[in-house]
Amino acid sequence: MYDMFRVLMMGIFTIIISLFITPIIRKIAFKVGATDAPDKRRVNTKVMPTMGGLAIYLSFFFSIFFLQPISYSVSIPIFIAATLVIVTGVVDDIKELKPKFKLLGLIIAALIIYFVADVRMNLISIPLVGDFELGLLSLPMTMLWILAITNAVNLIDGLDGLASGVSIIALGTMSIISFFFLGGSNIPVFIMIFTLVCAILGFFPYNFHPAKIFMGDTGALFLGFMISVLSLYGLKNVTFISLIIPITVLGIPITDTIYAMLRRYLNHMPISSADKHHMHHRLMSLGLTHKQTVLTIYAIALIFSLIALLFPMTTVGGTVLILVGLLIGLELFVELIGLVGEDRRPLLKKLRQIANKINKKD
């Protein structure tokens, strides 16, 4: 049994540790050259220290090892893999690594999670169809999950407090689901998720607009990696519900990533190329301020999270209806802000055609 009051108190200590460490990391970032200078792709107007994710990493693992100990068989492999991700991010924030080297660091970290931590997808259960052992597909499916979620969180790190705030919302939802819906066996996972939320909360005041420090790839890669790994604990035996819950919780970064890939494909651009047409860029182009854009995306992330909380309480039929409604609403929103392109709005065009036909009949 875990003393939940003790867990809560240790969470508060984690916030304090993160609050204390972050200004120190900020000074170190300036000294080692981990900074972002203004350019046409960035929104900052002055040189900003990055590498802020190091504060989240240090406060999180300090708490996990010393304040609210988790079984070493769980924490040590995650620590080793996460440290590799952090090193990759720190080097990138200082020297800007080529994408292939960042990918290599993430692949090795994911392999540690699969083979050492033994966190993996083994089986998929589809309603009305049956169970399917993944077998040889277990490794590629697990790797794809980790790399996709990590990259998705990294892609939304474009405005002050955006990735950190969305991560707090996503992880907070995951902690509620793991504690109330997935049973006592998930208490260690709940504690890790809760502690990570607290570590981000301590960093958040320095990161929200106007930011004093950026998370950098150090933080974005670390948070994306940890979210993917912690969500995998509930996906060892994948059911329809357990698969869509983390996907829905992470709706904002996943949507932005999928439509970025689609946009680049349709524009005959390399999938890995950078542009200024992500969700936050589009919202700002519509006239929202920096802070308004971030708060708008927080609100959308909260909607995704509230929908995710419905899935454990509904039937398969209800889940399908919710998903259909969610996908239609999401497509309308994406087309309204022109995420793929202002000339690519098929659903809106179809609705206008239907409306015109109805008006002509009247």
**How wide is the angle at C-alpha 165 spanned by C-alphas 35 and 337, nearest 5°?**
95
The 10s digit of each residue's pLDDT in 25-50 is 999 999 999 998 776 666 666 888 99
pLDDT at residue 218 in the model: 95
Residue 154 annotated as lining a ligand binding site: yes
**pLDDT band at 206; cut points 50, 70, 90:** very high
pLDDT at residue 175 in the model: 87
Residue 217 annotated as lining a ligand binding site: yes
Residue of 61, 76, 78 lying closest to 17 (CA atoms): 61
- Of 38-52, 54-68, 336-350, give the range with the top mean pLDDT: 54-68
Mean pLDDT of the chain: 87
Copy the structure tokens of residue 49: 């220290």
Of the candidate ranges 21-30, 43-52, 212-221, 330-339, the one whose mean pLDDT is the lowest: 43-52
Looking at the predicted structure, is the pLDDT value of residue 234 above 70?
no
For the residues 229-258, what does the mean pLDDT come to?
78
**pLDDT band at 247; cut points 50, 70, 90:** confident
The proportion of the chain whose per-residue pLDDT surpasses 70, expressed as a percent, equals 91
pLDDT at residue 217 in the model: 93
For the residues 13-27, what does the mean pLDDT come to?
97
**pLDDT band at 325; cut points 50, 70, 90:** very high
Residue of 184, 189, 177 lying closest to 312 (CA atoms): 177
The 10s digit of each residue's pLDDT in 151-192 is 989 888 888 999 999 999 999 998 888 887 765 557 888 899
Looking at the predicted structure, is the pLDDT value of residue 272 above 80?
no
Supply the pTM of this predicted model. Answer: 0.90
The 10s digit of each residue's pLDDT in 81-138 is 999 999 999 999 999 888 899 999 999 999 999 999 988 888 776 666 667 788 888 8
